[in-house]
Amino acid sequence: MTDLTNMRLLDEVNSPADLKDKSREELKQIADEVRQEVIDAVSVTGGHLGAGLGVVELTVALHAVFDTPVDKLIWDVGHQCYPHKILTGRRDRIRTLRQGGGLSGFTKRAESEFDPFGAAHASTSISAAHGFATSRDIQGNDNHVVSVIGDGSMTAGMAYEAMNNVGGDQKRQVVILNDNDMSIAPPVGAMSHYFSRLVSSRSYRGLRRFAKSVIKPMGLENPARKAEEYLRGFAMGGTMFEELGFYYVGPIDGHDLDVLIPVLENVKQMQRPVLVHIVTHKGHGYAPAENSADKYHGVSKFNVVTGEQQKSAPGAPKYQDVFGKTLIQLAETDDKVCAITAAMPSGTGVNLFAKAFPDRAFDVGIAEQHAVTMAAGMAADGMKPYAAIYSTFLQRGYDQVVHDVAIQRLPVRFAIDRAGLVGADGATHAGSFDIGYLGALPGMICMAASDEAELAQMVATANEIDDRPSAFRYPRGEGTGVALPKTPTPLEIGKGRIVREGTSIAILSYGARLQESLKAAEMLAAQGLSCTVADARFAKPIDADLTERLVRDHEVLITIEEGARGGFGAFVLQHLAEVGALDRGIKIRTMHLPDVFQDQDKPDLMYDEARLNARHIAACAIEALGRGDVAEIEAFARA
């Protein structure tokens, strides 16, 4: 293992330009040093590890061969870009990855000129690259455009929309297919089988031998040979990509710089779309990652020597597991219940359901649009599909929610995980918008769970809703530790509940800010200010009686939600306006996420920044009421 204190070659690399004069052997050493640096950094920050380790050699080769940032290098998802960050002037901040104020865990335009396009959601790279290539040609520039996309991300429709366009236009650009035979979970679908067939073909094994015996000695020292002819020797199979208009090269060993560099040098000379199929191993070069089932896709802090990850103290069950287990309970007596995930089986708890009911669980790949419409089809044919999709990723399937589900009033159940702020993954992964975008749809039923017992009841409620779509949202992470119902019972549709009775201030919470609302009520009570706290449960249909009663019987109404403006608070205001309840000048405040994309931090600190924690709620109440002491609230919060 490389000694971190003695990384002499990597110390000389402040930008990719510093790779240009390095020999092949030096580049190999730099790759080893980058790998060690990634392992060491992620061991203290946590984050995406396996994917980055798999592209260390590719990253070195790309920066050695191409002239970034003039040449555009676009990483799909961006979770594999830590080696790229190390080589592009961000090594000094690499131990701030995913921390508040630190480097993003993905590519980000605002962070570096070497990140020409930001990402974090999958399968956008070929489209973005095609935009760069098209723009380049219009402007008469001659830079290269390279995108790197994983086999998992190749399961999304967007990648094919882009390839269709690129192959038709024939603009010069390079797509690297980084095939490690993994998504977060093992990859699914026919394309995955197709890639495996290409890779396991005899020609690939032959090529590896060929690469060792021919490329190394030959290198690029045969200028008489045209690049295209030279590469012909490598192109085997790949028919599908060739049919789509790409020049296919591969599969080649993505960990061997002696293969990668000459191939990229040649590809660089080609005047058309090229697809280079490289084979890599997720977690390459770090045994604990290589040997684990998920290849250390995402890790917490860990011990570099043993690979052992820091475990959080066992606490309340995770929301995602409560969802999975409740669905199992329902499915035991209801053979129509089934679950769909878009490449996130463990993240959504669908893995638990899949174990219990393998025939009724479906991982469709990174294909949220397809997942939603497939669920619509199943619902139309009498099944009870639960589409378990993170709030942020459901954004990609929105037209399908509108056009295929809502307009046809099909009873798809949307289990919306990661609602609200998510912490280290930052703005791209925050579940901010679903309340507004689902609440706008006629006929939709929208619920939010204030704790894990409520979630269980909502899973059961959705099971009963057979004449229209429904959705329930819940946060990332652990529940609050409340007892779970033995048999979850359905809730009355459109009815909230009073959790604490008071007189002056009413806090109407939608979702998991309920705990902070209750804490705020305590803070206010300490000042003699009496507070009602209600759990709205439903944003649609809104609980008209409850909302109207709260404004009628209190001096101040505060709504609070873990979502963007234009969500629950807006629905409450619209309802009250429509029934004339605002006409007499009631004091209302809507608390929601701020109108900015918040950078990553610890979730609690992000909620602090969003001013949605207990002391902010209490301060908001005092400001609206015109009585009480905000300074005292601060003191209470510190105590």
Ligand X SMILES: Cc1ncc(C[n+]2csc(CCOP(=O)(O)OP(=O)(O)O)c2C)c(N)n1
The catalytic residues are 282, 368, 396
Residue 396 in the binding site for ligand X (CB under 6 A)? yes
Query: According to the binding rule CB under 6 A, does residue 433 interact with ligand X?
Result: no
- 182 in contact with ligand X (CB under 6 A): yes
| Binding flag, residue 126, ligand X (CB under 6 A) | no
Sheet holding 361-363, edge to edge: 361-363, 337-341, 384-390, 413-417, 470-473, 445-448, 538-540
Min separation Cβ 295 and ligand X, Å: 8
Q: Is residue 275 at the binding interface for ligand X, with CB under 6 A as the rule?
A: no
H or E segment to which residue 535 belongs: strand 531-535
Range in contact with ligand X (rule: CB under 6 A) among 169-177, 179-187, 269-277, 433-441: 179-187
- Quickly list H helices, 122-201: 125-139, 157-169, 190-200
574 contact partners, CB below 8 Å, separation of at least 6: none
Q: Which is nearer to ligand X, 147 or 180 (CB)?
A: 180
Residue nearer to ligand X on the CB measure, 340 or 508 = 340
Least CB distance to ligand X at residue 135 (A): 24
Tell which residue, 368, 406, 474, 407, has the closest CA to residue 153: 368
Tell me the number of residues near ligand X by CB under 6 A.
24
Query: Least distance in Å: CB of 390 to ligand X?
Result: 7
CA-wise closest residue to 397 among 356, 435, 342, 344: 342
Judged by CB under 6 A, the chain residues 105 through 124 that form the site for ligand X are 120-122
Encoded amino acid at 106, one letter? F
Question: Is residue 364 a contact point for ligand X (CB under 6 A)?
Answer: no
Out of 36, 68, 127, 153, the only residue in the binding site for ligand X (CB under 6 A) is 153
Residue 582 makes CB contacts below 8 A (sequence gap 6+) with: 573, 576, 588
Among 46, 150, 420, 431, binds ligand X (CB under 6 A): 150
Q: Which is nearer to ligand X, 365 or 488 (CB)?
A: 365
- The residue type found at 352 is L
Work out how close the CB of 22 gets to ligand X at its nearest, in angstroms, rounded to a whole number. 26
Q: In the complex, what is the shortest distance from the CB of residue 125 to ligand X, in angstroms, rounded to a whole number? A: 10
DSSP element (H, E) containing 265: helix 257-267
Which is closer to ligand X, CB of 190 or CB of 631? 190
| The two three-digit tokens of residue 270, written as one number | 């080609």
288 preceded by cis ω (within 30°)?
no
- Of 178-186, 312-320, 397-405, 495-503, which segment contacts ligand X by CB under 6 A? 178-186
Backbone φ and ψ for 349, nearest 5 degrees, come out as 80, 0
Smallest gap from Cβ 497 to ligand X, in A, equals 34
128 touching ligand X, by CB under 6 A: no
Taking the CA of residue 59 as centre, how many other CA atoms within 13 Å lie in the half-sphere pointing to its CB? 27
SS (H, E, C) 379-410: HHCCCEEEEEEEHHHHHHHHHHHHHHHHCCCC
DSSP helix, strand, coil percent of the chain (3-state; round to 5): 45, 15, 40
Which residues does residue 587 pair with via DSSP β-bridges, in sequence order?
556
Give the contact letters, 479-508, x = binds to ligand X (CB under 6 A), - = no.
Answer: ------------------------------
Give the x-and-dash track for 49-88 against ligand X (CB under 6 A): --x--x----------------------x-xx--------
Question: Which of the stretches 149-157, 264-272, 513-521, 576-584 binds ligand X when contact is defined by CB under 6 A?
Answer: 149-157
Candidate list 236, 366, 438, 524; residue touching ligand X; CB under 6 A: 366
Tokens at residue 118, please? Answer: 């930001």
Find tokens 């038709």 and name the residue: 168
- For position 331 contacting ligand X by CB under 6 A, the verdict is no
Candidate list 39, 184, 444, 606; residue touching ligand X; CB under 6 A: 184
Q: Where along the sequence are the contacts to ligand X (CB under 6 A)?
A: 51, 54, 77, 79-80, 120-122, 150-153, 180, 182-184, 282, 297, 342-343, 366, 368, 393, 396
